Homo-oligomer: A and B are copies of this chain.
Amino acid sequence: MSDHIKRFKKIIQKLRENHHKITPQRLAIVKILAQSKGHPSVENIYGKIKQDFPTMSLATVYRNIVLIKSLGEVLELGFPDGSNRYDGNKPYPHPHLICIKCKKIVDPDLDSLDDMKNEVANETGFKILNHRLDFFGICSSCQEEK
């Protein structure tokens, strides 16, 4: 079974467990989040669903994202300019690499972060619960263009 189908089923199961109704709108939102290779924005999600479901409302997208976030099944990548992006595939904190030209977001492999977390915790006495690491740059396709 492919990864995104597993994620889809997992999220739906989580919703059922918590006695939330499975509506067509919710189903459509979960489907997109579970695929979410490109870290979609709210507008992305809204736009895609609106094609086959013209009455879909933005408020419904927002409310469902809040809900799914509260179940721990989507990671919100918030940006101060309001261009938030969502990752329903890997809902746990992990580093991101963001192209400032085409806005593509990819997940690099990196595992030295845990050591860093422990180092910081020991040094400062903080109990560290969460983190966020973004690298900003220009992806290889955007470097080719002039």
Contacts and interface: CB of A to CB of B under 8 A. Distances in A.
Main secondary structure of the interface of A (DSSP, over half): mixed
A130 interface: yes
A1 interface: no
Interface in A109-146: 109-110, 112-113, 115-117, 119-121, 123-140, 143
A82 B78 CA distance: 11
A110 B120 contact: yes
A54 interface: no
Nearest to A77: B80
Contacts of A80: 76, 78-80, 82, 84
A97 interface: yes
A113 B116 CA distance: 9
Contacts of A129: 100, 136-138
A106 interface: yes
Contacts of A24: none
A79 B79 CA distance: 6
Interface in A61-80: 76, 78-80
A-B interface, 3 closest residue pairs, ranked by CB to CB distance from nearest = A78-B80, A125-B140, A128-B137
Interface of A: 76, 78-82, 84, 95, 97, 99-100, 106, 108-110, 112-113, 115-117, 119-121, 123-140, 143
